[in-house]
Amino acid sequence: MDFFAGSGSTAEAVIRLAANGMPGAKFVAVQLPEAVNPKERTGKAALAAGWKTITEVTRERLRRVLKAEDLQAIPQGFRAFRLTTTNIRRWAGTKDMTPEGYIAQMEAFADTLLPGWKPEDVIWEVALREGFPLTSKIAPAGNSAPKGSWRVTDPETDRAFTICLAEHIDLEQAKRLGLTKPDLFVCRDTALDDTVAANLALQCTLKVL
């Protein structure tokens, strides 16, 4: 774990260790999107290449390291995450305590996902909230699942959950998921009517966004 990743020297060292006697070695590198220094030689070179922040330099360095011929024996890669705001709208009450005020607030929550949300961002946010690691795998849930469904798995612990971001889930689609009591299923609150929600709650552990 490197909380001051800089240009990624620690991450490169771990990649080389994994390819030379320590397979399975992993790293987490943390770096603020700090602007490169245009007065330094390295900063000028980065800007000339089109990289404005240290994090851009870090990612490019690791990409090039992974392409090196002497590191091809063990397939490796990395994931880059950016800290940002939530994609999920949270109820914050209303200052207008009139019936009209409450109606307006309820209408604003017709969709609990904020405008501009992307499936991958929401899936990772939910995965992290559920305690899944950054090494988890995300894949389409299969043809029998409703459109917009994914399966998130942690290969190291065999934990998994299914998430569906479809706008609507009917009773037949819910049955095709084949969920059982130990299964966790996450979906949008607005996608379910009372009947479907009650059936899913009996089938599995249901959580809504």
Read off the pLDDT of residues 72-128 as tens digits, 9 standing for 90 and up: 777 889 999 998 999 987 766 666 667 666 556 556 556 788 889 999 999 999 999
**Same domain for 129 and 192?**
yes
Boundary of a domain, candidates 38, 71, 104: 71
pLDDT of residue 75: 82
pLDDT of residue 115: 87
171 in a structural domain: yes
Tokens of 165: 């971001």
**Same domain for 171 and 118?**
yes
**Same domain for 118 and 66?**
no
* Domain, as residue range, for 118: 112-208
82 in a structural domain: no
Boundary of a domain, candidates 17, 43, 71: 71
Long-range contacts (CB closer than 8 Å, 24 or more residues apart) made by 48-55: 54/5, 54/6, 54/7, 55/31, 55/80
Q: Which residues of the chain have pLDDT under 70?
A: 91-97, 99-110
pLDDT of residue 97: 65
**Same domain for 143 and 204?**
yes
- Partner residues linked to 46 by β-bridges: none
**Same domain for 123 and 43?**
no
133 in a structural domain: yes
Tokens of 185: 């299923």
Q: How many domains does the chain have?
A: 2
The model's pTM: 0.81
Boundary of a domain, candidates 44, 71, 98: 71
pLDDT of residue 10: 95
**Same domain for 55 and 131?**
no
Give Dmax (Cα) for the chain.
Answer: 69
**Same domain for 132 and 198?**
yes
pLDDT of residue 111: 73
CA angle 171, 172, 173 (to 5 degrees): 90
CB-based burial of residue 130 (10 Å sphere; 0-12 exposed, 13-18 middle, 19+ buried)? Answer: middle
179 in a structural domain: yes
**Same domain for 119 and 37?**
no
**Same domain for 56 and 141?**
no
pLDDT of residue 4: 93
**Same domain for 116 and 204?**
yes
Q: Please answer whether residues 107 and 99 qualify as being in contact, where contact means their C-beta atoms are separated by less than 8 angstroms.
A: no
Q: Please answer whether residues 72 and 66 qualify as being in contact, where contact means their C-beta atoms are separated by less than 8 angstroms.
A: no
54 in a structural domain: yes
**Same domain for 126 and 203?**
yes
